[in-house]
Amino acid sequence: MLKEEVKEKEEGLSIKILGPGCPNCERLFKNVMEAMTKSNKVGDVEQIKDIREIGSYGVLGTPALVINGKVKSVGKVSSIQEIIKWLNEA
């Protein structure tokens, strides 16, 4: 499990990337980090690679993106623009 602090935890955004660490998981991670930078959002970004923990979110595909406990996408690499929209809604 990789956990990375983004700036200081002011707003308390909790972002989880669910997946085994495949190339698409890594691309989603990069897109999330870029979206957070572009939207000036702060919080924790965590990569969840444990299959049981991934299953606890009820997702059947990876990568999956969870923002503040809500599953936002499953089985695809979301675009930076999509992620920014979700971050602003969180």
- Catalytically annotated residues: 22, 25
Query: Which residues neighbour 80 within 8 Å (Cβ) at sequence distance 6 or greater?
Result: 31, 34, 35, 38
